[in-house]
Amino acid sequence: MTLPELGFTLERTYAVAPERVYAHFTEPELMARWFCPNPAQPTSCELDVRPGGSWRVVMGDWVVGGRYLEVEPPTTLVFTFDWDHDDDPPTTVTVRITSAGDRTLLVLAHEEADADGGHEQGWALSLARLDLELGAHGGSSTA
């Protein structure tokens, strides 16, 4: 995988099976528990997890969605990321989940359209909530 010139990569390590991490990205009720950076916002998810399928998350007044480009359970998700409230072009998110001994490594790469797309802080806050859901160990972030 080639890292984009614009964008960022976040990594987390969990003491759970890859299938459990994958489920938190693909099951609406699990994803709604962590996806929104603001835990005070009511969050709902609609996920059609298949290549070409759509996804949509409503977080209070904020709505984001896109299409799945690549789906390989339980290791890979690639999807577009597009906010309803702006005219910015969609960006691309790649999620890789790999077994690392008795742990699972999550690598999330978000390709940005410009140098300050603003998504890194949101993902960091959301992944902190996922950490609580899954019990993170040794999580780290690299840009």
Sign of CA dihedral 88, 37, 47, 49: positive
Q: What is the pTM of this model?
A: 0.87
What is the chain's length? 143
Helix (H, G, I), strand (E, B) or coil at 82: strand
Q: What pLDDT, in 10s, does the model give residues 53-105?
A: 999 999 999 999 999 999 999 999 999 999 998 888 999 999 999 999 999 99
15 closest CA partner among 107, 108, 106, 129:
106
Q: Where do the domains of the chain lie?
A: 7-142
**C-alpha torsion sign, points 78, 27, 22, 126:** positive
Top CATH class, 7-142: alpha beta
